[in-house]
Amino acid sequence: MMDSVFLHRYLGLPIFLVIMWAMFHFTFTASLVFMAMIEEAFAWLGGLTSQIPIPWLASLLTDGIVGGVGFIVVFLPPILFMYLSISVLEDTGYLARAAFVMDKVMMRIGLHGRSFIPLLLGFGCSVPAIMAARTVDGESNRLTTILVTPLMSCAARLPVYVLIAGVFFPDYAGTMVFVMYILGIVMAVAMALLFKGTILQGESAPLIMELPTYQKPTLHGSFRHAWERGFLFLRKAGTYLLAGAIVLWILANTGPAGFGVDADESFIAMIGNLGAPLFAPHGFPWQIVSALIFGLLAKEIVVEALGIIYSVQGEAAIGTVLAMALSPLSALALMVFVLLYTPCIATIGTIRSETGSWKWAGFSVVYQVVLAYLMSLLVVLVGGLLLA
């Protein structure tokens, strides 16, 4: 009976989109109070470290580690709630049915039905999603799936969306996050059509799999899955994101004149100013450009870098400086750019490993950066015309 609704020829896809919207709306609204609590805790900790009598050490701990890594940890609640929602949908058996609903879309764009599985996994992390493309039949289908999977919005991008949407679109924050995920799907479909019609032509095949029975999800199983993903996020924050915060703090506080310079005279400003002219049409200042450059290492670093570069702590403080640095249109363009350019350096390595070629890895980086630049510029140009 339920399958007659969820797998309906015409209603199946709209129902899938409504469920996805509800998931992201819940993720944002339910996490607000927990984010505020974590932010208060790190603000208190930052107040303690700022009292250290050694100025450079106080700055490193307060602006670099607490302000950088602490600001990242603030976004743990939406990540946990998102994975909790996905776990519930998976345990009920709905996600398998969503794969069947999307199979017709896969077939129409020339992809194998199994391509939906890696694309769905891309909502979590691009690395295992790309590795899951091994199950896709046909070399052209597999390569196309690998190349478009990074366009699916991974969890590492979520802190950027939550920050920007919360500052510039507070009344529609959940909807704006949902729009980013839908845009990622649309762009993946568009690029798959382009690749399958040009450089990666090949035949597609339908998805054949056994649908699981509907089940009632358990709180223990759902929370355990969410915590496992959250723990991976915390481990990342405590390892290379911590190292990245220290490096970013050093670059933001040193320059040709030595240590203790203003941010505008630092090495990180020099890096950002190299790309600033290119992003002038987008309305991105050098601080944003620097954050995007370091975001090639990992998308969480975009948020981390903004806190360190602007030398502020907490979502409210970073929101204040971003509101002065960007217009709402430029903020939307920033979200689009973060969505579409290369997720992280690990993704590049995985593409190299799965394809056995640096050519395809390099191609993926180039086309994603160009696509991100053009689409974010289109947002600014079209939005400017509509608002004129």
Q: Which two tokens stand for residue 124?
A: 């979590």
**For residues 281-307, average pLDDT:** 92
Where are the chain's structural domains? 3-200+229-387
**If 0-12 CB within 10 Å is exposed, 13-18 middle and 19+ buried, where does residue 336 land?**
buried
- Which range has the worst mean pLDDT, 104-118, 150-164, 258-272, 290-304? 104-118
Mean pLDDT of 207-211: 58
- Token pair recorded at residue 376: 């974010």
pLDDT at residue 193, rounded to an integer: 85
**Mean pLDDT of all residues in 374-385:** 95
Per-residue model confidence as pLDDT tens digits over 49-63: 888 988 888 888 888
> Burial code of 155-190, b = ≥16 C-beta within 10 A, e = fewer?
bbbbbbbbbbbbbbbeeebbebbbbbbebbbebbbe
pTM above 0.75, yes or no: yes
Residue 184, pLDDT score: 93
Looking at residue 209, what is its pLDDT? 56
Distance of CA 102 to the CA centre of its chain: 22
Instruction: Locate 140 and state its tokens.
Output: 């052209």
pLDDT digits (tens, 9 = 90+) for 298-344: 898 898 888 888 887 767 778 889 999 999 999 999 999 999 999 98
pLDDT, tens digit (0-9, with 9 covering 90-100), for 184-199: 988 998 998 898 888 8
C-alpha distances (whole Å) from 258 to each of 87, 199, 227, 273, 299 are: 50, 50, 43, 19, 29
> What sign for the dihedral angle of Cα 348, 181, 79, 133?
negative
For every residue of 224-276, DSSP letters joined together read HHHHHHHHHHHHHHHTHHHHHHHHHHHHHHEETTEES--GGGSHHHHHHHHHT
Query: According to the model, what pLDDT value does residue 118 have?
Result: 78
Locus of tokens 């602490």: 70
Query: Which residue has better confidence, 58 or 363?
Result: 363
User: Looking at residue 367, what is its pLDDT?
Assistant: 96
Q: 254-255 and 258-259 as β-strands: parallel, antiparallel, unpaired?
A: antiparallel
Under 8 Å between Cβ of 194 and 130:
no
264, pLDDT greater than 80 = yes
Query: Which residues sit opposite 255 in a β-bridge?
Result: 258
The whole-number pLDDT of residue 69 equals 79
Task: Using alpha carbons, list the distances in angstroms from residue 153 to 36, 128, 191, 376.
Answer: 25, 14, 15, 15
* pLDDT number for residue 97: 76
Q: Residues 157, 341: contact at Cβ < 8 Å? A: no
pLDDT of residue 316: 75
| Ranges 55-59, 214-218, 374-378: which has the least confidence | 214-218
User: What would the pLDDT profile of 61-118 be if each residue is shown by its tens digit?
Assistant: 888 788 777 777 887 888 888 888 878 887 887 777 777 777 666 666 666 656 777 7
> pLDDT category, 210, cuts 50, 70, 90?
low
Structure confidence at residue 128 (pLDDT): 80
What pLDDT does residue 9 have?
73
Contact residues for 202 (Cβ-Cβ < 8 A; gap 6+): 110, 138, 139, 140, 141, 196
- What mean pLDDT do residues 236-246 have? 79
User: Residues 345, 236: contact at Cβ < 8 Å?
Assistant: no
Q: How many residues does the chain have?
A: 388
The pLDDT, as a whole number, for residue 364 is: 96
* Segment of 36-45, 237-246, 339-348 carrying the highest mean pLDDT: 339-348
Q: How many CB atoms lie under 10 A from the CB of residue 33? A: 9
How far is 326 from 216, CA to CA, in rounded Å?
45
| pLDDT reported for residue 112 | 60
Mean pLDDT of the chain: 85
